[in-house]
Amino acid sequence: MEIGVHLTTSGRAGPVPVALAEYIRDLEAQGLKGVWLPQMFSLDAIDVLSLAGHMTSKITLGTGVTPTYPRHPTALATQAMTAAAISGGRFVLGIGLSHKVVIEGMLGMSYDKPARHMREYLSILMPLLHGERVNFEGETLTARNYQIDLPGVAPPKVVVAALGPVMLGLAGRMADGTSTWMVGPKTMEQHILPTIRKAAAEAGRPTPMVTAGFPIALTSDVNAAKAKIAKSLALYDTLPSYRAMLDREGAGSSPADVAIVGDEKVVRDGLKRLADLGVSHFMGSVMNVEEGATARTLALLASLA
């Protein structure tokens, strides 16, 4: 299992894109194997990762994740292929639907039939990334006689933020894997992995990538750490897709209950369990639950990587 971290795209000193790319370069030097950036209300994640790709040589650089609705698949395919070219094939494109409160509430776009949207999106995106000419007429998305001319650039892997069975099926049949968040180990074992693997196998595709995001903190004060994590991640408890995963896990009302929090043995055991299940990429969202916690957790993750 490749061990990496999930970062934010804001809050750095200096010229922010350069500072963040330099920080990613430092994480590579520490020994971490992957960095994943979300597309939030700040920097463009793919642009920052492209810059980091120019400044690094080994580390995996992925989006976790880029929302699909605001970007036509032809535009996103071009961005992704450019990032792949700059990074020498280390870029992974993570995409997702976002949430109704964002797509309809903030952007005024229809969130009707999101699975249809993702199916049509992948029907354009995936062949474009593989150098094919696309002629696709969907109910909501169209690409006519469209092709990207970037010879010699290998297509990036595409992982879809998928939690429910329909989306996991799409990810397994049409993409290279999935990206998860707020999914505990029991749900990973009993729902995520078997569902996407079955879909991929039925479609004749390789074993899918599974990039698993978890809040994580190395600490001796577990109760205080979980209280801080529950407060900082309270938003996710209100979003239906994540709430469904927490209910499936039996985690109760707090996202802190799926976090990997504790001493070195707890963290090591938590990561080992995920690796044994078949998670391919771990994305640690390091929680600064006390003074020095971030540095200690990063050091441990780097040593395990």
Condensed to tens digits (0 to 9), the pLDDT of residues 101-138 reads 999 999 999 999 999 999 999 999 999 999 999 999 99
Strand partners, 37: 63
What CATH number should be reported for the domain holding residue 194? Answer: 3.20.20.30
What is the pLDDT at residue 13? 63
Residue 10, pLDDT > 90, answer: no
Q: How confident is the model at residue 251 (pLDDT cuts 50, 70, 90)?
A: low
What is the pLDDT at residue 149? 94
Residue 33, pLDDT > 90, answer: yes
Q: What is the pLDDT of residues 211-232, one digit of tens each?
A: 999 999 999 999 999 999 999 9
**Whether pTM exceeds 0.75:** yes
Q: Is the peptide bond prior to 158 cis by the omega test (within 30 degrees of 0)?
A: no
Q: What is the pLDDT of residues 38-55, one digit of tens each?
A: 998 889 999 999 999 999
Closest CA to 121 of 110, 136, 106, 100: 136
Please, which residues have CB within 8 angstroms of residue 108's CB and are 6 or more apart in sequence? Answer: none
- Kindly state the average pLDDT of the residues 243-264: 90
Q: How confident is the model at residue 285 (pLDDT cuts 50, 70, 90)?
A: very high
Residue 232 one-letter amino acid: S
Q: What is the pLDDT of residues 154-206, one digit of tens each?
A: 999 999 999 999 999 999 999 999 999 999 999 999 999 999 999 999 999 99
Strand partners, 91: 61
- Average pLDDT, whole number, for the chain? 95
What is the pLDDT at residue 225? 96
In terms of phi and psi (left: phi > 0; alpha: psi -120 to 50; beta: otherwise), the region of 203 is alpha
What is the pLDDT at residue 250? 87
Between strands 209-218 and 260-262, the pairing is parallel
Q: How confident is the model at residue 14 (pLDDT cuts 50, 70, 90)?
A: low
* Displacement of CA 163 from its chain's centroid (Å): 12
Enclosing domain of residue 108:
2-304
Residue 219 one-letter amino acid: T
DSSP-H helix ranges across 88-221: 100-103, 114-129, 165-174, 185-187, 193-202
Please tell me the total count of domains within the chain: 1
- Kindly state the average pLDDT of the residues 50-78: 98
Q: How confident is the model at residue 254 (pLDDT cuts 50, 70, 90)?
A: confident
Please, which residues have CB within 8 angstroms of residue 151's CB and are 6 or more apart in sequence? Answer: 131
Answer positive or negative: Cα dihedral of 284, 50, 77, 129: negative
- Kindly state the average pLDDT of the residues 143-163: 97
What is the pLDDT at residue 15? 75
Q: Half-sphere exposure of residue 228, counting CA atoms within 13 Å on the CB side? A: 17
- Kindly state the average pLDDT of the residues 127-154: 97
What is the pLDDT at residue 178? 98
Q: Rounded CA gap, 67 and 96, in Å?
A: 5
Residue 77, pLDDT > 80, answer: yes
Residue 9, pLDDT > 80, answer: no
Residue 11, pLDDT > 70, answer: no
Q: State residue 210 phi and psi, 5-degree precision.
A: -130, 110
